[in-house]
Each structure stands twice: as structure tokens, then as C-alpha cells.
Amino acid sequence: MHNKSLTELSIALRQRQISSVELTSLFLDRITRYGAPLNCFITVTPEMALNQAREADKRLQAGDAGPLTGIPLAHKDIFCTKGVKTSSGSKMLDNFIAPYDATVVEKSQAAFMVMLGKANMDEFAMGSSNETSYYGPVKNPWDLQAVPGGSSGGSAAAVAARLTPIATGTDTGGSIRQPAALCNLTGLKPTYGLVSRYGMIAFASSLDQGGPIGHSAEDVAHLLNIIAGFDPRDSTSIDRPKEDYTLQLNQDITGLKIGLPTEYFGEGLDAEVGKVLEQALKELEKAGASLHDIHLPHTPLAVPVYYIIAPAECSSNLSRFDGVRFGHRCENPKDMIDLFKRSRGEGFGAEVKRRIMIGTYALSAGYYDAYYLKAQQIRRLITQDFKQAFHQVDVIMGPTSPTPAFNLGEKTDDPLKMYLSDIYTLSVNLAGLPGLSIPAGFVKQRPVGLQLIGNYFSEAKLLNVAHQFQQRTVWHSAIPKAYQ
């Protein structure tokens, strides 16, 4: 059962081949067996999960069930869950029990899905390798010496090892797509505003977006149906008609125009990764799509722009963690200044401190115009590059990551080298576009992801293209040997 798709699990539950309690117990047993070595969960919630599964079974028995009723999932530990620790991977929130549910959690519960637990992550979603977590690094199920990608590495590792059928993640600069690529999964970063950010602990508010991580485009489409939609509690949520993202999956892609940015296939891309992508694109050509060279000239500026805007926003968002209202508080402070200094000094890790300092500097008097304002102006140019490209093509494709998964500790001493891991994903967040990473093959037994980028609210089209690719290939169904 742990290798079945969401559609297959849904059919099995409805036909009473298995109960939700039995299915939930199966995955809880796998978490007990494999979870600790992978370090992919911060909190496991067996009692809550089994209670939710019993309620789901009642719904299934009464014939009052939705498509995902009774199916387990894991939430990234950045989504508030009422009565459960929500740490955001930080010592600062190690003692924080959320008093309410995030909208994403609320929606999954309303669909009577079953929460297995909270997945490990880079601290406050700041990282590309899941090595900055207060709870230690997550391991990649394909190679325990390799990183799973970040910041949603716990979610990705848990899905890849079949410890959960599907999971939620968040993507600020590639944090769903990059771990999906490094763990051989399908991960979607939706259009900014499509999925509510209410109850999602903020990193960079104009960039953060929640989304699903699963085995296939079909699985991802099913969960997106649940978590997408307008939320009046989130001022950035888009009020638009709901879609069924599974309806277009089987449409023919003959005549589809695929744009290949020359900036994505030049210097910096691993040669072996390039060969894998070349073969993947040939499969899409066989399916009737055509390939077209395009230009996104401001792509090289995405890294410096992102690392001005994101730290600036994080320095503002994280100012609330001061040791007074909630979160970590130092012992025996001498005065208020000592309380602030020591609580934040003890509670935040090195990467978070680095970004807070960069952001505070960029927003300070005398530097705001030179750094933050200029970065926002270039952000507009990056957005215009995409708008012009979509006048020529239907979707844009390229690598998700310049290399396969690198080894644990390989880049921790060189932040700039680490930041370049997200060179192909950052622009999508800066422009607010949807992006999807799908399995495309392997290099030295480590997975490679193909990134699909669409125009605003074109998630259904991206999932359609991905599904058609996955109907013709087997990469997405590959399973790490140790977890079969």
C-alpha cells in the first residue's frame, strides 16, 4: 500500500480494501522504522492521526467522503497546527504550541485527511540543503551521505522514503522544487496568492508560498485541489474561482510550445544534468511539443536581488521573536536590552542571524535606496522578462538545480556557493509565477529534476504537461532500494 498513488489509495479506501486506521498505522510503523535515521520528522502525532483516521472511516462508511478522505499526509513544521508544536525548525520556537490551525492545515482537516506529523525543515525556511535546522540535518533517502534539498527537505525525504503518501511544503526561492528534484519527486510552487499563507510562519512575505510535494503530477493535483482557494484572513490571497486541477491531466500536448532559456543551459549547469534534461525534452517532443530558444536576460541578477529582498523581509518578520510574547526566552535577564539580545542570540541559528543582519543593513537609512529599492526595480525587470517570453511560448523549461544532490557538509562553510544552488528557481518567486519540478532521470544514482514554469494561474497546464511526460517515462515511480 505504501507504494500506491493517491488515486489508488482513495479507491482502496472507498472499496473497503483497507481502512484509514490500517493505512495510517502502516505509515506510522514505517516512520518508527525509518524516520530516525532520515531525521525527516520533528514531531510525530500518532494519537491525533489515529483519531482522525477513525473519523475518516466513519465518513467512508457513511458514503460521505471526499477524494482524499482517510489519506495520511505530513505538514512542513512551518504550518501552525493547533495543540501541536510548530517550531519552524528553530530553537526560538522549540517550546511553541500553536493555538490555531493554518489555513492549509484547516483545509486538509476539512477534507478528512490524516496528519501523521510535522516534517523537519531549514530554520525559518532559510536554507537550500536542510542543514540549518535546530533539530539536525535531514538525510536524502537515495543516499544518506547527500542532502535532500531545502528548506522543505523533511517533507521531501518523508515522501521519497514512503513514510507518507504526500506532504506540504513552502517555497520562498525554490524550497519545494529543489528538494523535490534532489529526492526524485514532483513538487509544485503555486502562483503567489493561490494558496493561503495564513498560519504559515513568515520568512519573506512577498515570496513565500505553500504547495504540495508528491510522487506524481496527479498526486500533486489532488492535494492542490484541497489546499488552494481564497482566504479572507490572508491579504495576499487571490479571490478567483476554484479549479479542479485533475481535469486537464489527460489532454494532448501536441502543439505545445516549450521555451528553453539560453541562460539556464550555459555556464554553471552540470554537464551530466544537461544530458539528462536533453533526453527528457526529447520525450516531450515525441509527445507533440516543440522546443524554442528564448532569453531571460536578467536571470543572472536573480541571486543578488533575492538575497537583498528576502533578508530585508525576514529581518522585519522575525523582529517579533524578542523573548517577551512567545518563543525562547533567556534565563535571568539583567534588563530589557539583555533580554532581547540574549533571547535572539540563543534562539536563532547562524544562517538566520546572517540574513537578519543583511536585511537590517539593506533597510537602514542611507542604504535603502541603494540596495532594497534597486533590488525591487530589478525584480520588475525579471518579471517583464517572463511576461515577454510567454508571448512566444506556452511553458518554460530548464533545470531545477544546477547539480544533483551534494554531500552533507559540502557547502556549509561557503554561503555564496550554497545560494547558487537556487539560481534557476529564484526568479519564479520574484515574479510570483507557478513552478513545478518533476523527476527526469539520474546522475550517478542521484535524482535530477526538470523544472516547468508557467504563466500566472497556469497550474493546470503545468500539471497536464508533467502528467503526459510521466505517462511516457518511469522516473517518478523509482523508489530508493532501502525503502521499497
Q: Could you give the residue numbers annotated as active site? A: 76, 151, 175
Pairing, β 167-170 against β 395-399: unpaired
Q: Compute the distance between CA of residue 460 and CA of residue 248 in angstroms, rounded to an integer.
A: 6
Q: In 3D, which of 191, 166, 83, 179 has the Cα closest to residue 129?
A: 179
Q: With CA atoms as reference, report the closest residue to 327 among 85, 130, 39, 75.
A: 85
Helix (H, G, I), strand (E, B), or coil: what is residue 72?
A: strand
The answer to whether the CB of 376 falls within 8 A of the CB of 309 is: yes
Of 162, 164, 166, nearest in space to 24 by CA: 164
What SS3 state is found at 134? coil
Are 172 and 310 within 8 A, CB to CB? yes
Strand ranges in 254-317 using DSSP code E only, listed in sequence order: 257-261, 290-294
**Which residue, 358, 311, 343, 313, is CA-closest to 91?**
343
Q: Which residues sit opposite 188 in a β-bridge? A: 436
Other Cβ atoms within 10 Å of 320 Cβ, number:
11
* Cα separation, 41 vs 205, whole angstroms: 25
Which are the contacts of 77, defined by CB distance < 8 A and separation ≥ 6?
42, 43, 85, 86, 87, 88, 89, 118, 119, 120, 121, 154
Question: CA 148, CA 156: separation in Å to the nearest integer?
Answer: 7
